[in-house]
Amino acid sequence: MDKEMIKKAIEEGKTALGIELGSTRIKAALIDEKFNSIAAGEYTWENRLEDGIWTYHMDDDIIKGIKSCYADLKKNVKDEYGVELTTTGAIGISAMMHGYLPFDKDWKQLAAFRTWRNTMTGEAAEKLSNLFDFNIPQRWSIAHLYQAMLNKEAHLKDLAHLTTLAGYIHYRLTGENVMGIGEASGMFPIDSKALDYDQAMVDKFDSLAADYGFKLREILPKIKCAGEAAGTLTAEGAAFLDDSGALKPGILCAPPEGDAGTGMVATNSVKEGTGNVSAGTSDFAMVVLKNSIGRHEELDMVTTPAGSAVAMVHCNNCTSDINAWAGLFKGFVEAAGLSVSNDVLYTTLFKAALSGEKDAGGLIPFNYISGEGVTKLDAGRPLFIRKPDAKLNLGNFMRANLMSAMATLAIGMEILIKDEKAEVDSLMGHGGFFKTPEAGQRILSAATKCPVTVMESAGEGGPYGMAILAAYCVQKAEGESLEDFLDKKVFAAAKRETLAADQADMDGFDSFLDDYKKALAVERSAVENVG
């Protein structure tokens, strides 16, 4: 589509907008009716560790960030196409899943936003898991709520609404307290047949909360599935998003979703037997199940945006430590009076990993900025270990760091594939870890023993996936499933590259992982002894 056609599509609102509030960036993706990306916007931010809580401030971070992201998108549209962005065919909001955002009846925030990264709910998660006979991870909203109850936190007396970051932004845009089923599945267990919260578990929780004056269904958002209308942009919502006043109300809004769901959509991984791995600040694998599996602390049960059951291996830490090392290398280059772009820096470092020894030559880094549920650590300490005879060179160093980024995920996937015999017909990779061709793809394949496919949109999957979900609301045919919509309309002609690690790669990763598991005792000691 040429610029004049795109300009006309923008003016006529024949587009869809997805905005995702990720851990390090808020990103917007505007797509046309053929699902091509035509404009983008972004805002860089970072979580704060305050009083032991990983958080973002509502005004200074969240609201400022989404307004700035939209303003960047709007500017880019104007610069590229010479037209002001005033409307779009549909809007969808996505964000990092889970966490705790409580409000009173007037939507006044009652406590600091507790993100997915927090590991302060161990007691609550364990008790709820036993009560429900269903694994409740520490980062889930219901674990945070119950931990607040166990801690007798004063704000609970005023609690009227509990939502997530995506749910809150959607409420500000539409006035509707609703949520996509995939995002809701990170708040409370879902009954995939009823496409709603599991009623038996709701009843059990309500018995725990009998003295608190609220019922769970009264405070949780109402559930919507992909393709359902979830309200329209109000005048207040338009002013909230666009300070200039140019954005017009009345735009259809899709159910807000989590970054796991948008990743599944962006990689066409919503059918049974498909799987995807999102790898950025955190990493997680999602496998749409063909059969039910047993309860494991390392595996979360969530859903696709259409409500199908999904096994999730979630890891809190992935590329943050790689980013820190990259910053060190960049600092050296600049200290030498030279300069290097981030694209060249990361491409050079990731490519160097391909020249390293298959087992990284005796180097064992831990990328734990925060705790990890899979390896049962409530906190993290970035750590680098090397054996006395290790070969410390750039290739081994980078290969070790890339394998470390996938190590915890590999531990969880062993349970799903080896123990539960889950069938994975295909595995898609997306996120910043896969921006450099081959390196991240090869390491993930070695870690999971599965071929890994990466599509052209791998680097920026989340907001694109949310834009597709928004487009699905207005473009789906009568009775057309999300699976068919993605297969036949969105990704029918998508370019993709599939790579399978060779036996040497897999053996090397297994050797590294064996050392990594043994060295977890060192990481635990660091957590206990290094403040």
Residue 175 pLDDT greater than 90, yes or no: yes
Residues 6+ apart with CB under 8 A from 434: 279, 440, 441, 444, 454, 458, 459
Please state the φ and ψ torsions of residue 326, each to the nearest 5 degrees.
-60, -40
pLDDT of residue 473: 97
Do the domains 267-436+504-531 and 98-163+178-220 match in fold? yes
* Tokens encoding 229: 């209308």
> Which fold does the domain 98-163+178-220 belong to in CATH?
Nucleotidyltransferase; domain 5 (3.30.420)
What is the enclosing helix (H) or strand (E) of 252? Answer: strand 252-253
For residue 460, pLDDT beyond 70: no
Could you give the angle at the alpha carbon of 9 between the alpha carbons of 481 and 259, nearest 5°?
Answer: 45
Phi-psi region of 15 (alpha: psi -120 to 50; beta: other; left: phi over 0): beta
- Please answer whether residues 318 and 278 qualify as being in contact, where contact means their C-beta atoms are separated by less than 8 angstroms: no
Q: CA–CA separation, 408 vs 285, rounded Å? A: 11
Angle formed at CA 372 by CA 437 and CA 327, multiple of 5 degrees: 45
Positive or negative torsion for Cα 310, 315, 515, 322: positive
pLDDT of 458 above 70 = no
- The DSSP output letter for 435 is S
At residue 284, the pLDDT reads 87
Q: Tell me, what's the pLDDT at 265?
A: 93
Contact 266, 431 (CB under 8 A): no
- pLDDT at 253 exceeding the cut of 80: yes
Q: To which H or E segment does residue 390 belong?
A: none
Amino acid identity, residue 271? Answer: K
Of residues 247, 254, 236, the one with CA closest to residue 173: 236
Is residue 119's pLDDT more than 90?
no
Q: List all residues 6 or more positions away from 194 whose beta carbon is below 8 Å from its beta carbon.
A: none
What are 393-428's pLDDT values in tens digits?
999 999 999 999 999 999 999 999 889 998 888 799
User: Using one digit for the tens of pLDDT, what is the confidence trace for 185-232?
Assistant: 999 999 999 999 999 999 999 999 999 989 999 999 999 999 999 999
Stretch 116-141: mean pLDDT: 94
- Is the pLDDT assigned to residue 477 strictly greater than 90? yes
Per-residue pLDDT, 1: 64
- DSSP secondary structure letters along 103-163: E-TT--B-S--B-TT----HHHHHHHHHHHTS---TTSHHHHHHHHHHTT-GGGGG--EEE
Average pLDDT, the chain: 95
**163-174 residue pLDDT tens:** 999 999 999 999
> Which residue's structure tokens are 């070695």?
446
Exposure of 199 in the CB half-sphere (CA atoms within 13 A): 3
Task: At 524, list the tokens.
Answer: 């635990």
Which candidate, 501, 31, 29, 468, places its Cα nearest to that of 267? 468
pTM: 0.84
Q: Are 58 and 126 in contact (CB under 8 A)?
A: no
- Please report, for the chain, the start and end positions of each structural domain, with discontinuous segments joined by +: 98-163+178-220, 267-436+504-531
pLDDT at 367: 97
- What pLDDT, in 10s, does the model give residues 486-529? 999 999 888 889 999 999 999 999 999 999 999 999 999 999 99
**Residue 43: which of 20, 65, 61, 23 has the closest Cα?**
65
**Pair 470, 305: CB distance under 8 Å:** no
- pLDDT tens for 44-97 read 999 999 999 999 999 999 999 999 999 999 999 999 999 999 999 999 999 999
If you classify domain 267-436+504-531 with CATH, what class do you get? alpha beta
The 10s digit of each residue's pLDDT in 13-33 is 999 999 999 988 999 999 999
Q: Is the pLDDT of residue 252 over 80?
A: yes
Q: Could you give the CA distance from residue 213 to residue 162 in angstroms, rounded to a whole number?
A: 14
Beta-bridge mates of residue 9:
none
**Ramachandran area for residue 356 (φ above 0: left; ψ -120 to 50: alpha; else beta):** beta
Q: Is 367 exposed, middle or buried (0-12, 13-18, 19+ CB in 10 A)?
A: buried
pLDDT at 457 > cutoff 60: no
For the cut 70, the answer to whether the pLDDT of residue 313 exceeds it is yes
Residue 435's pLDDT is: 87
- Nearest Cα neighbor of 116 from 180, 184, 23 is 23
Which pLDDT tens digit goes with each residue over 378-396? 899 999 999 999 999 999 9
Rounded CA-CA distance 469/464 in Å is 9
CA 217 from centroid of its chain's CA atoms: 25
3-class DSSP assignment, residue 243? coil
From CA 361, how far away is CA 25, in angstroms rounded? 34
What does the pLDDT average to over 338-359? 97
